[in-house]
Structure 1
Amino acid sequence: HRMLDHYLHTAHQAAALTGTARVLISLTPPAEGAHPEDFAGDTARANAWFSAEQTVLIALVEQAATHHYDAHTWQLAWAIASHLHICGLWQEQKAVHLAAMEAALRLGDPVAQAHAHRGLGVGAPGLDNWDEARGHVERAIALFTEADDMGACADACRTLAWIADQQGDLEGALVAAQRSLDLYRALCLGADDNRGLLRIAAGLNSVGWSLIMLGQYKQALDYCLEALDLYQRLGDETTEAHIWDSIGHAQHHLGQYDEAVTSFRNALALWQQQPVSASWLTADTLMGLGDAYLSLGRFDAARIAWAEGLDVAERLGHADAGAFRTKLRGLDESGVPSA
């Protein structure tokens, strides 16, 4: 029990530092004799701890489930979910949240079930199961709403916006993103609520991305720049990278190709500070960077970006590997020589 409390409370603290746009769950105090680590607000230390303890944390979810420490099971899964997501560990994400779901059902706790559904929804797209992902996240939203846990509901709506976008349901994505933003704004306590303001910024970026997909590029850029201003004032490099990526896409569609290159490279610089620099998120940004270079006629730079993205995608088993191959093949077939 002390060991599980040590890891759970340490992972919860690390998750609070490395994922500031996510609404935190509440924990009971650790057992007497348990001594969680203290990161003293140091995000780099928290990221390093997640990387060092990753294998242990995944195994602990299984051990907690085996011995029916059910609250520890679903809460540990919640605490490591963002780290697994950023690292592209989707099989592990699925496994820990299946264990979390079984534990939540044993507890009869609908909020725990909702968190498990959202975790399964976040992980399923990495395995190319978008319909399954949407079903889990929609169920999470329903359960959070019934429990009046509107902060977690806002997080789940933001996840739904991402999934709907990937399914081609662009209007549905915008509706979900806007609901997320509205809920974050309603829950923010004021100018001194830094976590609340960071969630608003995440919501702004989600709406901005949905508008990009709908072709409303100027309006989208306004949302994303507002989000960037909040993040740069408050600080969260992971989500700031997402915002730079969105800005790059909007600028590209507005014909601001040089600015788009700068934005994508800003995103890459931030991704590469994460615990796994060659993450699937890096691959997504490399795709956009190559597109911007192509629009500038910088064919060699585009080839380099896409080749790097292909290498990342192949190592992670990412579904975009095929898209990178298609783009590189298109360059070769166009007769553009390499340097």
Structure 2
Amino acid sequence: MDRTEFGRLLREARQRSLLTLQSLAEASGVSVRAISDMERGHSLPRRATLSELMDALDLGEDQRRRFVEASVRRPGEQAARVPRQLPPGLAVFRGREEALARVHRLTAQGTGQGGRVVVSAIGGMAGVGKTTLAVHWAHQVADRFPDGQLYVNLRGFEDSGRPLDPAEALGGFLTALGVPEGDVPRGTAERGALFRQRTKSRRLIVLLDNARDEEQVGPLFPAGTGCLTLITSRNQLAGLAADGAQLVGLDVWTREEALTALAARIGEERCGAEPKAAARLVELCGFLPLAVAIVAAQLSATPQVPLRLAVRELRETGPLLDALSAGATRSDVRAVFSWSYRALPAETAAFFRHLALHPGPSVSAQAAASLAGTGMPESRRHLRHLTSANLLSRDADNRHVLHDLVRAYGVELVEREKDDRLAAQARLLDYLRHNAHAANGFLGRTQSGGAGPPADGVVEVALGTREEALDWFRTEEPTVASALRSMDDPGLLRFRMTLTQDWVSYYSVTGRWSDEIETKRIALDAAMQLDEPAAIVRNSADLARALAETGQTEEADRQVESMLGRMDLLGPADRASAERSVGWVRGRQKRYADALHHARTALEIQRTLGDDRAMAREMNAVGWYLALLGRYEETVALCQEAIPLLRRDGNLRIEAAAWDTVGYARQRLGDLNGATADYQESLRIYGEAFDGYNQAEVLDHLATAQQERGDHTAARRSWLRAADLLSAVHSPKAARMRANAEALGGPGTATGPV
């Protein structure tokens, strides 16, 4: 698809809806000029903009899918390594003239002198507009920082009491800056050092939102002297001043600012017609920006309601603001929330309560629908309604965000209305489990056994490609981590034990070993509490693999010992899987004789079970360890036995790996023609499996064989092709392949068992 195709779809959908450019702009919040540029094929929308357009056009699921497919940029069309992570700015931003004048002076001073500029909203009050000011400021000066913007919600004040770990924030930043996920270091210090290296010569805006304290933000400062760092926090963070930070304090609006903001949202004529009522409304909101925005949204939805009637209803709703004094840790805006909440349709109100149970920083439409047990059309309708009511906002990736005060209010309502909290959380966890199992099919590592049907009300996401599967995993990964940490009801223990089993492929493919270690420890703890040996061993195996990948040998050994100590408690199939995992860990530790022993044990068990598919997989593993021990003839014989079985079962990735293993052995036996043919077959099959990464690895092996044959032209061509494939996934190995092509260096490393 290209820009012209997206423009055609957008224009046709707008015309079918009988909308002019102006009316679509008003309904979506996207400017007329931007829509016109898209329709003419001059630009493509960002994800948040795309969703606003699709919602305004009220597209069905099939139409939405076509829009998303057509909006995907072609390789090289966008500067992929220039991050654009800022949330959307507020079109009706008003007030804060004094604060804006000061921060713009700071920006000019900082960029002129090459210094860092930090803003910290020190009023200490939730809902005062710290994020809104910082985002508005960042958008206004973004053109001065051509290398992009980074944003993270540090979740410093959520009720869970678990602020975002700086290492996790750094991981997201590094990925956004082009570091392949598999090459992101494990520790905070190592990630911080790489982040400073990557930002040293860049001009970036870095917005650290909702920081807890100085310790949390310390590792997140970029090194570039041309970078602008913005921090928002309810705490003063006075310690940053010693590091040259400039502190800008925010309090509630003045009366005049609040009235100006109200008029911008509901119309100056309406406020001018009832000036006393308008003034009383903002007083009842305590001049708190969040409260004024919510009241204004409700008034905009009911233009026929006189302001004096709204004042009376708001006064009668419940307790007025009673925690607006300086230093308060939480503002009580229940009256404003309650007034807006009671105006919601009953179904949307119930949806809102369920939405408040979501544990992550942001929620996808599919996860929201699963929590509430609704269909996707209903979910999107409710989300639009809540966004219009200012009870929800959107982030740069089009996920929906609840302000933590609004979330806390929603949770209170869940308790009051006696909603089935446990059932909603179970649906969310089942959504994460079931769709991960389906997505695995596109990663070539489908778990044995079916996922079973999802629970009633759980959304099944339509996935058609590997990239769509990876996008789904990336979108929901923060939800998995948050759910495992916070959903600790005993009734969910089994979900915690099994949830990440279907996430192993994603962690492996993307190299997110640190994330896997964290989640697997939680799952292992749940398995230990339930005292289920098979689950204990499965989680120990995954944990050991991740630990071995990150060089944590001693702890990996402890997990292996735990597995071996429970072998007698397992059934044959689970025992075979455990033996294979132990073999893999030993192979990673270069203990090849031990690895061969465990892989052979797994193979023998699978032979007794008569599982040809699993048996063929184990043959490849055994063959690989034989090759590493120099027993090349045995490798060739065993893999040739396995390949017909793998081909019969359509196990593409393992068949491709087996051909690569045979080629590796034949090359070392001196059969360069045979090795070349094997590598070519492996390449062909990996191509059918859309596995470009492993294709590049095989091309590396092929190039060494071609070099040994004296065909330097073919070797150069293979290495350059490998470099292109690795560049497409932002792998640093691409540089080595290009260097090999130029210098025709030594042979590359082999892939090993998959």
TM-score range, shorter chain: 0.7 to 0.9
Distance 1:228 1:58, change over 3 A: same
Contact preservation (8 Å) 2:717, 2:741: no
Alpha-carbon distance in 2 for matches of 1:309, 1:88: 19
Alpha-carbon distance in 1 for matches of 2:653, 2:469: 15
- Aligned equivalent of 2:472, options 27, 38, 53: 53
Alpha-carbon distance in 2 for matches of 1:118, 1:85: 13
SS of residue matched to 1:54 = helix
Specify the code of the residue in structure 1 equivalent to 2:570.
Answer: D
Corresponding residue for 1:31?
455
Corresponding residue for 1:296?
709
Report the more deviating stretch, 256-265 or 205-214: 256-265
Residues 206-246 of structure 1: CA distance to partner in whole angstroms, max 9, x if unpaired? 11112212222122111101111101111111211211111
Instruction: Give the structure with the higher percent helix.
Output: 1
Corresponding residue for 2:322?
none
Alpha-carbon distance in 1 for matches of 2:632, 2:650: 25
1:130-209 correspondence runs (5 A): 132-143=555-566, 145-188=567-610, 196-209=611-624
Contact preservation (8 Å) 1:97, 1:119: yes
Structure 2 residue 628 is the aligned partner of structure 1 residue 213:
yes
Specify the code of the residue in structure 1 equivalent to 2:706.
Answer: Y
Name structure 2 gaps, 5 residues minimum.
1-425, 747-754
Residues 43-102 of structure 1: CA distance to partner in whole angstroms, max 9, x if unpaired? xx4745532311234223213312123322332211121233133333333333233223
Shift of 1:105: 3.7
Structure 2 residue 675 is the aligned partner of structure 1 residue 256:
no
Shift of 1:260: 1.5
Corresponding residue for 1:67?
487
Distance 1:110 1:221, change over 3 A: same
**Count of paired positions:** 315
Residues 256-283 of structure 1: CA distance to partner in whole angstroms, max 9, x if unpaired? 21222232233234334556x443x445
Contact preservation (8 Å) 2:663, 2:675: yes
Shift of 1:308: 5.7
- Aligned equivalent of 2:436, options 1, 5, 11: 11
Specify the code of the residue in structure 2 equivalent to 1:155.
Answer: S
Residues 110-161 of structure 1: CA distance to partner in whole angstroms, max 9, x if unpaired? 3322222111222234334455445434433433x14323322212322332
Specify the code of the residue in structure 1 equivalent to 2:437.
Answer: H
Specify the code of the residue in structure 2 equivalent to 1:12.
Answer: H
Corresponding residue for 1:98?
521
Alpha-carbon distance in 2 for matches of 1:48, 1:315: 15
SS of residue matched to 1:212 = helix
Distance 1:202 1:134, change over 3 A: farther
Corresponding residue for 1:336?
none
Structure 2 residue 642 is the aligned partner of structure 1 residue 227:
yes
Shift of 1:297: 1.5
Contact preservation (8 Å) 2:496, 2:523: yes
Alpha-carbon distance in 2 for matches of 1:250, 1:5: 44
TM-score, L = length of structure 1: 0.77
- Aligned equivalent of 1:287, options 682, 685, 700: 700
More contact order relative to length (CA 8 Å, sep ≥ 6): 1
Residues 22-53 of structure 1: CA distance to partner in whole angstroms, max 9, x if unpaired? 544x87874333354688xxxxx474553231
TM-score, L = length of structure 2: 0.37
Contact preservation (8 Å) 2:603, 2:618: yes
Alpha-carbon distance in 1 for matches of 2:556, 2:676: 32
Shift of 1:205: 0.9
SS of residue matched to 1:61 = helix
Report the more deviating stretch, 220-229 or 287-296: 287-296
Contact preservation (8 Å) 2:537, 2:578: no
Contact preservation (8 Å) 2:541, 2:563: yes
Structure 2 residue 540 is the aligned partner of structure 1 residue 110:
no
Name structure 1 gaps, 5 residues minimum.
40-44, 189-195, 334-339
Alpha-carbon distance in 2 for matches of 1:271, 1:128: 29
Alpha-carbon distance in 2 for matches of 1:219, 1:37: 45
> Identical aligned pairs, as a percentage?
25
Corresponding residue for 2:507?
84
SS of residue matched to 2:565 = helix
Higher alpha-carbon Rg: 2
Alpha-carbon distance in 2 for matches of 1:130, 1:309: 31
Alpha-carbon distance in 2 for matches of 1:317, 1:120: 26
